[in-house]
Each structure stands twice: as structure tokens, then as C-alpha cells.
Amino acid sequence: MIRISLRAVAVAVTAVVGALSLTGAASLTGAADPSGASPRSVPIGPGALTRNPLYATGAFRSSACTEPARRADDLGSYRAYLDDLLGCLGRAWSAKFRQAGLRFSPPRVRYITKSVYTGCGQFMASYAASLYCPANKTLWIMLSKEELSDPMGFGLFTVVAHEYGHYAQDRAGILAEFERRSRTLSGKRVLDLNRRIELQADCLSAAFVRSVWSSLGRDRHDWDERVMADDGDMWHGTTRNIRYWLKRGWAGGGPRVCDTFRAPASRVA
């Protein structure tokens, strides 16, 4: 789920409160190409959606990403868990952007425990586990009472991977082109474009999860349960299409299979 100022659900209210910490994988900043080649400019225009350099990078390389133990109602253990996950995501995406010849640095991250204003609207504690706000390049992660009560759940892992996919879209110029087009499109066409954004993030998150799956020590049931969990809506696509793109990302392994912008309308309905 992404929040941008154009969406009707974004509501501007109070300043940020209840933020626990700011964290990130600082060691990845810059993500210089070891070959010494200068990074290319972020793509703009229609090509940012359909000919993005990320699509030519192939599969994510298999890597280790263990899940530190969490304890119910223990914020410290959840923060340690998320710090590790964000490190895994940062390394995986840094490699993708390096292969694409694009600059990369990790997003800002805020862990919160109550409703806050994110810069893209109000983030309610009951709304979602995480969201990405392009306005301040920040990944917001909600550690609600419900989330803290389920230390064995896999949902937090996959939702954060989805939102990190939105950050990757932002760094690659995809969200900028989405916002530019959204200013002039009619309602139905904006919804179509928004679904392509969301379904691509689903596909990207699945590709990442597959690349670290062997190190997680989880049963395949955890992933199958994730695939079956989402109900579709007009912003995110039908349940059938959400499952299609999750399965496609899992099977294909990288951004190259996640070009939702050239997919037929039936696959992004």
C-alpha cells in the first residue's frame, strides 16, 4: 500500500507523534558500482514504467535472511527483527540498482505504535502494518497491539517487503511518472494505473521473499497462506490478480517478470 497526496484517502491532520525510532542501513548509502561506472539518470516519461532499467537485472540472488526471534508485546525484539529484515531488503535492492546502473540508498524508516501523520495522510493503528510515503521518502511501520501479539506471524515480513517495493519504484522513477500521469487522467484510468503500481509491488515483494526463503526456516504453508490472505479492491486489484502477481514474482525471481504496465487490462483489473 502506498500513500501519495493524490489519493482520496490521504487526510492531512496533525504533526507526527508517537515515533519510536529512525533506522536504516547506512552502510548501503551511495551503492557505488564496483566497476567505477557512473550511475545513469533516473528514467523519466513513459519509459520509466515500461522500459525501466530494473527490468533488465534478472532474478534476485539467493541470500540468507534469518528471522530473529520476537517476543509478544516486546518492542525491542520487534525492532531487532525489523532492523534485520530492512538490512536484507537494502542489500537485495542495492544489488538490483547497481546492476541497473541506478543510484540507491535505503529509505528513512519510522517505527510507530499509534496513529500519526506521515506526510501522506494519517496512518491509523488499525489501517495496515506498514506504508511508504514518497513525500518524505519514509517507510512507516506500525507496531500495533495486534501486531505485537503475534510474534510467529509472517505477515509483517511480507508487508514490509511490499512497501519496500514501493520505495524501489520511487527510486527507479516509476512513482514520479505515476504521479505525473495521475494529474490528468480520469478516475477509472487513475485506478487502473494505481492497481498496476500495487500489483507490481506485490510481484517485487514475492520475488524478494523467494530469494531468501531457504534461510527463513519456514514451512511453505506460511507463503501459501500469504498468497491466499488478500481480498481485492479497486485500488489493489481483484483477489485473483493479486494472487497471480504474487505467484509470478515467486516463480520468476526478479523485477523482469513484474512489468505490470505492459500487462493486459484483464491482469490488472
Give the per-residue pLDDT at 100: 97
Q: Which residues contact 250 (CB under 8 A, 6 or more apart)?
A: 206, 207, 209, 210, 223
The 10 Å Cβ neighbour count of residue 78 is 22
CA torsion angle 122 198 233 19 (round to 10): -20
Burial of 35 (0-12, 13-18, 19+ CB in 10 A): exposed
Give the per-residue pLDDT at 186: 86
pLDDT tens per residue across span 15-32: 222 333 333 333 343 444
**pLDDT average, residue stretch 133-139:** 97
Q: Is the pLDDT of residue 14 over 60?
A: no
| 123 strand-pairing partners | 116
* Residue 118 in grid coordinates: 506521515
Q: Which of 263, 62, 241, 249 is nearest to 162 (CA)?
A: 249
**Which pLDDT band holds residue 1 (cuts at 50, 70, 90)?**
low
The 10 Å Cβ neighbour count of residue 73 is 11
pTM over 0.85: yes
**pLDDT average, residue stretch 140-163:** 96
pLDDT tens per residue across span 46-72: 999 999 999 999 999 999 999 999 999
Give the per-residue pLDDT at 39: 78
* Letter string b/e over residues 15-34, b meaning 16 or more CB atoms within 10 A of that residue's CB: eeeeeeeebbbeebeebeee
The single-letter code of the amino acid at 12 is A
**Which pLDDT band holds residue 2 (cuts at 50, 70, 90)?**
low
The CA-CA-CA angle for residues 131, 61, 63, to 5°, reads 75
pLDDT tens per residue across span 67-108: 999 999 999 999 999 999 999 999 999 999 999 999 999 999
Give the per-residue pLDDT at 9: 31
Q: Is the pLDDT of residue 170 over 80?
A: yes
How far apart, in whole angstroms, are the C-alpha atoms of residue 89 and residue 258? 17
Q: Which residues contact 102 (CB under 8 A, 6 or more apart)?
A: 39, 40, 42, 53, 54, 171, 172
Q: Which helix (H) or strand (E) holds 142?
A: strand 138-142
pLDDT tens per residue across span 234-262: 999 999 999 999 999 999 879 999 999 99
115: helix, coil or strand?
Answer: coil
- Sequence length of the chain is 269
